[in-house]
């Protein structure tokens, strides 16, 4: 497919290779979409479904009781590195609160301070550690409120030095404006259920492959998520391994569904034709099939550069309404290779579309969107991988393979033309159509 700009604002290409970096979110289950059990609560602070977070189904409700209201263990901190951290917050009165990054002696390394009345609006609260120390330490997040009641969601923390390299780290202001996960829709319309610290080995059984399960906060490397992770090790005597749901989910044949997972397969080769099949129900036709590729070809680095989203977008009109288990296949093709997965989800797209319309004052419908829109705007129950535009690579390019190279493509069906922002390397379009849908 040649690169083409349609008169209606649709952008056509072979595929997109992004200049953004992919970083590990050092904070797990940042809006408690998985009800994971990896957070600790003090006083009468809780998570709540009654007041949604910023584009998230849940929020944390922090009561003004003083220290240690919400806390989580963090990965080790390299004091010579630069870090960015933040969250979304809302209050109805003047509040005084802080998210502190501390060592195990409760000494604060840096903090994101909140001291205002947002009048019921969500705002971004962030801060920046400038790498002024030395040594590697154990660390934790400690959130406390001293003023009025507040609600918080979308906790994000990334190691900027690890992600961009020393001397190339972007500013706090750039991070506030150019991290994709600040604006994605999280934990809406979930059909599949949550994974927590207690059900990790039973929620999604692994068959026909050697299984490994890694719990929340267990892993502390730049390329592994702080959320849960499954690993399937392919067997040489089988073509495919399976991830099953342990329970059945209700299907409405007229509803559009989005299935997704983030996978790690760094030595993938299209020559072996390995792929992921999304089944729900466990019968043909599938929800979708996606070929496995090396993600380093599709992003510009960062600790999570080898993780890639695989997804499917479809309805189930050939099946009867009812309850069915889902099955996601790893087609290893008799290869003894490992396949790591996080963020397993199946979602009703309309629920996410409703949030998009509410926040953007738009009226778009299912007929206006496709899988690329879902990939851009929908996260599952959490955001273990952070996508941040590279301020050092803001050129927008079209190569001879008819690929687009840029920092980001914002797919906005309310637009009627394609726009180019050369300051951030961002393209805006009505719809994105790719010949290669990896």
Write the pLDDT tens digit of every residue in 381-431.
999 999 999 999 999 999 999 999 999 999 999 999 999 999 999 999 999
Q: What is the DSSP string of 84-116?
A: EEEEEEEESS---EEEEEEETTS-EEEEEEE-S
Share of the chain above pLDDT 90, in %: 88
Q: What is the dihedral of CA 325, 330, 336, 337, to 10 degrees?
A: -120
Rounded-to-integer distance, Cα 403 and Cα 434, Å: 9
Structure tokens at 190: 């979930």
Q: What is the spatial distance between Cα 25 and Cα 38, in angstroms, rounded to a whole number?
A: 14
Strand 59-62 and strand 210-214: the pairing is unpaired
Report how far residue 266's alpha carbon sits from residue 310's, in angstroms, rounded to the nearest whole number.
Answer: 14
Residue 102, strand partner residues: 108, 140
User: Could you report the per-residue pLDDT of 288-315, keeping only the tens digit for each?
Assistant: 999 999 888 899 999 999 999 999 999 9
Name the nearest CA neighbour of 153 among 98, 74, 87, 57. 87
Tokens 């507040």 correspond to 150
State residue 248's pLDDT score: 97
User: How far is Cα 34 from Cα 211, in angstroms, rounded to an integer?
Assistant: 21
pLDDT in tens, 164-218: 999 999 999 999 999 999 999 999 999 999 999 999 999 999 999 999 999 999 9
Number of neighbours of residue 395 by Cβ within 10 angstroms: 10
400 vs 402: CA distance, rounded Å: 5
- Within 13 Å, how many C-alpha atoms sit on residue 47's CB side? 20
- Asked if the model's pLDDT at residue 438 lies above 90, the reply is no
Kindly report whether the global pTM for this prediction surpasses the value 0.85: yes
Rounded average pLDDT over 155-168: 98
Please give the mean pLDDT across all residues of the chain. Answer: 95
Burial class (CB in 10 A: 0-12, 13-18, 19+), 14: middle
119: CB partners within 8 A, 6+ apart: 92
């Amino acid at each position: 497919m040649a690169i083409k700009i349609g008169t209606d604002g649709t952008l056509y290409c072979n595929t997109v290779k992004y200049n953004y970096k992919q970083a590990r979110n050092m904070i797990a289950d940042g809006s408690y979409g998985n009800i994971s059990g990896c957070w600790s609560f003090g006083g009468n602070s809780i998570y709540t479904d009654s007041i949604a977070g910023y584009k998230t189904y849940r929020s944390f409700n922090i009561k003004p009781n003083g220290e240690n209201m919400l806390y989580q263990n963090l990965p080790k901190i390299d004091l010579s590195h630069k870090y960015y951290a933040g969250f979304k917050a809302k209050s109805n009165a003047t509040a005084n609160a802080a998210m502190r990054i501390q060592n195990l002696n409760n000494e604060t390394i840096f903090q994101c301070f909140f001291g205002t009345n947002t009048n019921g609006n969500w705002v971004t609260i962030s801060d920046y550690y400038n790498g002024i120390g030395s040594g590697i330490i154990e660390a934790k997040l400690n959130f406390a409120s001293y003023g009025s009641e507040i609600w918080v969601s979308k906790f994000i923390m990334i190691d900027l030095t690890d992600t961009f390299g020393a001397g190339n780290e972007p500013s706090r202001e750039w991070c506030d404006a150019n991290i994709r996960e600040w604006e994605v829709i999280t934990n809406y319309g979930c059909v599949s259920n949550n994974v927590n610290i207690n059900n990790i080995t039973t929620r999604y059984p692994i068959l026909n492959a050697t299984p490994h399960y890694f719990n929340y906060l267990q892993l502390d490397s730049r390329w592994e998520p702080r959320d849960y992770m499954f690993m399937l090790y392919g067997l040489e005597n089988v073509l495919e391994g399976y991830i099953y749901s342990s329970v059945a989910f209700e299907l409405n044949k007229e509803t559009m569904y989005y299935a997704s997972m983030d996978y790690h397969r760094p030595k993938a080769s299209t020559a072996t034709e390995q792929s992921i099949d999304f089944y729900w129900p466990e019968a043909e036709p599938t929800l979708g099939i996606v070929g496995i590729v090396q993600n380093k070809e599709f992003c510009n680095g960062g600790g999570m550069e080898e993780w890639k989203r695989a997804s499917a977008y479809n309805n189930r009109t050939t099946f009867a309404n009812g309850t069915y288990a889902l099955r996601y296949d790893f087609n290893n093709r008799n290869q003894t290779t490992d396949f790591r997965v996080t963020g397993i989800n199946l979602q009703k797209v309309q629920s996410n579309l409703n949030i998009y319309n509410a926040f953007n004052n738009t009226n778009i419908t299912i007929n206006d969107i496709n899988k690329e829109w879902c990939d851009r705007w929908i996260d599952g129950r959490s955001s273990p991988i952070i996508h941040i535009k590279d301020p050092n690579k803001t050129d927008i390019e079209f190569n001879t393979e008819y690929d687009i190279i840029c920092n980001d493509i914002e797919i906005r069906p309310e637009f009627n033309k394609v726009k180019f922002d050369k300051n951030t390397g961002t393209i805006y379009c009505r719809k994105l159509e790719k010949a290669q849908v990896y």
